[in-house]
Structure 1
Amino acid sequence: MNTDPAPRIAIIGAGPGGLTCARILQRHDIPVTVYDTEAGPDVRNQGGSLDLHEDNGQLALREAGLLEEFFRLSRPEGQEMRQVDPDGTILFHHTPEAGDLFKPEIDRGDLRGLLLGSLTPGTVRWSHALTSVDGPDHGPRLLRFADGTTIEADLVVGADGAWSKVRRAVSPAVPEYSGVSFLEAWFHDVENRHPEIAELVGQGSTAAADGERGLFAQRNSGDHIRVYIIQRVPADWITASGLTIQDTDGIRALLLERYRSWSPRLRRLLTDTEGLYVDRPINALPVPHTWERSSTITLLGDAAHLMPPLGVGVNLAMLDACELALSVAESNSVNDAIEAYENSMLPRSHKMQKLLDHGAEELLSTELPDFATADDSN
């Protein structure tokens, strides 16, 4: 950016999008600070496995100078996919060819560690929960945090996810429940303790659905498997059943009743899980989501275009981050950078939002993937 002094850039959210943006800015010698509500990088499990696509997530990592390190950490074999019917019959089985790197898998925690390790020490300020963004649109913006501290910024980047506090400064939109909910559970030491489930899932993922309910099981690194139990239910289905999320046995009994017609092999994904379930209702922003352009605030990733989890969220967030960072580096002002970035990002996100509108229903579909062919099926 050809301004002097350099703008004060504050990125809210230390997820893949925020960290990618910070990394690319620093590669262009542009100062940036990332603020995150969590107390540190290891206070919670970062979630399951991601596939980073050659035409978006990997493009961002190349610009960040991290693509080769990503390939060393990733699992190309994780591209294996199976779809089975509720009886357990394999309908579709894709095994990646040797050298296929179109969308290798990586654990969220490994990706975050890669990005964090690439930043200048001290870039991320932990334990900074944003409460509001104040100040005039032309700046500077005043960021207020829950601990009473404030900072001024010339550019505020909302990379703070579905329930973004930054978004409130430019848009009244809030995520709405899709009618479909995930229940997440885990299996550990699967080759020794759960060999049948390990064989069922393979090195990648296995999905099954009957139109009303589904299962999606995915291999993670470290001999772990995550399973997502997918249902068309009210958002409060657990409490409406007289249960709490801590009542593992009660929830399991309810699930076994709901999946009673499914094969015993698939029902083991319900009965053999370890630890508490995690309730993950699927929400999405209105379609399309837009806002009146600000000269000092912009959004990326889920803060800008939260969609159902159909394999595009993190990839789009990282592509957003890359384009925003490059716009900042190439523009003469913050306002020009935001304009250039949003002129590219918003049409792309609107197109994808429309494509995936009501896409949560696809997670329950019995139809085979578009790319499934007779040659791929077993």
Structure 2
Amino acid sequence: MSTHTPRIAVIGAGPGGLTCARILQRYGIPVTVHDRESGPWSRDQGGTLDLDEDNGQKALREAGLLDDFFRLSRPEGQEMRQLDTSGRVLFHHVPGAGERFKPEIDRGTLRRLLLDSLEPGTVRWSRTLRSVEGPAGGPRRLRFADGTVVEADLVIGADGAWSTVRRALSDATPEYTGTSFLEAWFHDVENEHPAVAALVGPGSAAAADGERGLFAQRNSDDHIRVYVIQRVPADWITAAGLAVEDTAAIRSLLLERYRDWAPDLRRLFTDNDGRYVDRPIHALPVPHTWDHDPAVTLLGDAAHLMPPLGVGVNLAMLDAFELALALARHDTVGEAVRAYEGTMLPRSARMQHLLDHGAEELVSDELPDFAQEGMAAR
């Protein structure tokens, strides 16, 4: 920045926000990250991620963290199995030696890598944003729940699906897609759940019948997460007269809904450790755009929430990479934001159109294109 050092505030300490902060600091640009959580490990960070070499890995390279990522990632997690409801394997991809197109890494591990790379004090915890105030064009005032008020020349909304920053730019809110996940956890799987471990393997395993599906995903430290996928109303649990804490009753309901599925597959939601986690899937309207404001912009799910089809974190980190570079290369914040949005908004619109109604693919009983190509090659 040729005129003065801008005051940059990132809202959200997820992969996108932390990646943006890391790259900005590598270019000598000060930045502060605000997050509502009480600390970096105050809650479970979620499952595993595959970072593509064209998106997430590209951002980590610019962040100077790619070698560390490869050291921490699990290339064996690229293995994929597609099954039918009888448990028969329809497609099985085993990564080749040295294959690193999209190795897996746990969300918590990635967060630790990014946090450890930042200057001390970069992240301010227990900062729940209530509002973004001030005139369009800035400076903007950030008002937090604890009474703190921070003034910023640029506010970067990396605060996810239910972004508070987004309200300063857009009236759009996420809409329910008609598809819901129910998450189940398995711990110490090689000893306590050997049948589940064998079914899933070192990567992932999926099955679907057109209306419902199962997706199981190996995590590090001998954990497996399973997602029970259904096309149901968002309130399907309460509509059945249940609460998410009613584990046994929900399990009985699932056994009825999956009664024609193989016992080995039903084990993915009957043998889990602990309660289920309800995760209805939402997406932003397609396309999601806004009028340019030189003092506020968005990245990741705050900008383009889509169904979970393997692109969310990769696009968030690519957004972060491009925004940080734009800020490093332009004379003013406004010029940088305009350049960033000129690339990001068309890209995200194309992807939003591509994945519109994509939640339905999560329960499709058709093999994905790459699997059909693999079958043909054999």
TM-score using structure 2 length: 0.99
Q: Secondary structure at the match of 2:369?
A: coil
Q: Which amino acid aligns with 1:178?
A: T
1:356 corresponds to: 355
Q: CA deviation at 1:137?
A: 1.2
After superposition, the C-alpha distances for 1:270-327 in whole angstroms (9 at most, x for unaligned) are 1100111110000000000000110100000000000000000000000000000000
Alpha-carbon distance between aligned partners in 1 of 2:63 and 2:136, rounded to the nearest angstrom: 30
2:77 corresponds to: 78
**Is 2:108 the counterpart of 1:109?**
yes
After superposition, the C-alpha distances for 1:90-116 in whole angstroms (9 at most, x for unaligned) are 000000000000000000000000000
2:130 corresponds to: 131
Alpha-carbon distance between aligned partners in 2 of 1:303 and 1:43, rounded to the nearest angstrom: 22
Q: CA deviation at 1:375?
A: 6.4
2:35 corresponds to: 36
Q: Which amino acid aligns with 1:127?
A: S
1:2 corresponds to: 2
Q: Secondary structure at the match of 1:339?
A: helix
Alpha-carbon distance between aligned partners in 1 of 2:70 and 2:358, rounded to the nearest angstrom: 30
2:365 corresponds to: 366
**Is 2:164 the counterpart of 1:159?**
no
Alpha-carbon distance between aligned partners in 2 of 1:176 and 1:183, rounded to the nearest angstrom: 18
Q: Which amino acid aligns with 1:62?
A: R
Q: CA deviation at 1:2?
A: 1.7
1:92, 1:376 within 8 Å by CA — same for their partners in 2? no
After superposition, the C-alpha distances for 1:309-359 in whole angstroms (9 at most, x for unaligned) are 000000000000000000000011010010000001001000000000000
Alpha-carbon distance between aligned partners in 1 of 2:54 and 2:358, rounded to the nearest angstrom: 21
**Range 368-377 or range 358-367, more displaced:** 368-377
Alpha-carbon distance between aligned partners in 2 of 1:374 and 1:315, rounded to the nearest angstrom: 27
After superposition, the C-alpha distances for 1:239-279 in whole angstroms (9 at most, x for unaligned) are 00000011100110100010000001101011100111110
1:329 corresponds to: 328
Q: Secondary structure at the match of 2:53?
A: coil
Q: CA deviation at 1:376?
A: 7.2
1:190-269 matches, within 5 Å, as 190-269=189-268
Task: Say what the alpha-carbon RMSD is for the aligned residues.
Answer: 0.8
Q: Secondary structure at the match of 1:11?
A: strand
After superposition, the C-alpha distances for 1:115-150 in whole angstroms (9 at most, x for unaligned) are 000000100000000000000112110000001110
Alpha-carbon distance between aligned partners in 2 of 1:68 and 1:127, rounded to the nearest angstrom: 31
Alpha-carbon distance between aligned partners in 2 of 1:270 and 1:316, rounded to the nearest angstrom: 31
Q: Which amino acid aligns with 2:370?
A: F
**Range 364-373 or range 334-343, more displaced:** 364-373
**Is 2:178 the counterpart of 1:187?**
no
Deviating beyond 6 angstroms after TM superposition, the runs of 4 or more aligned structure 1 residues are none
Q: Which amino acid aligns with 2:356?
A: D
After superposition, the C-alpha distances for 1:163-201 in whole angstroms (9 at most, x for unaligned) are 000000000000000000000010000000111110000
Alpha-carbon distance between aligned partners in 2 of 1:13 and 1:239, rounded to the nearest angstrom: 31
Q: Secondary structure at the match of 2:207?
A: strand
Q: Which amino acid aligns with 1:235?
A: A
Structure 1, unpaired ranges of 5+: none
Q: Secondary structure at the match of 1:314?
A: helix
2:144 corresponds to: 145
Alpha-carbon distance between aligned partners in 1 of 2:347 and 2:375, rounded to the nearest angstrom: 33
* Number of residue pairs the alignment of both structures matches: 376
Alpha-carbon distance between aligned partners in 2 of 1:138 and 1:228, rounded to the nearest angstrom: 43
Q: Percent identity?
A: 74
1:184, 1:226 within 8 Å by CA — same for their partners in 2? yes
**Is 2:119 the counterpart of 1:120?**
yes
1:277-356 matches, within 5 Å, as 277-356=276-355
Alpha-carbon distance between aligned partners in 2 of 1:366 and 1:8, rounded to the nearest angstrom: 50
Alpha-carbon distance between aligned partners in 2 of 1:369 and 1:233, rounded to the nearest angstrom: 23
Alpha-carbon distance between aligned partners in 1 of 2:244 and 2:366, rounded to the nearest angstrom: 31
Q: CA deviation at 1:374?
A: 2.2
Structure 2, unpaired ranges of 5+: none
Alpha-carbon distance between aligned partners in 2 of 1:137 and 1:155, rounded to the nearest angstrom: 11
Q: Which amino acid aligns with 1:87?
A: S
1:143, 1:150 within 8 Å by CA — same for their partners in 2? yes
Cα pair distance change 1:127/1:376, threshold 3 Å: farther
Q: Which amino acid aligns with 2:375?
A: A
Alpha-carbon distance between aligned partners in 2 of 1:349 and 1:57, rounded to the nearest angstrom: 15
Q: Which amino acid aligns with 1:121?
A: P
Q: Which amino acid aligns with 2:326?
A: S
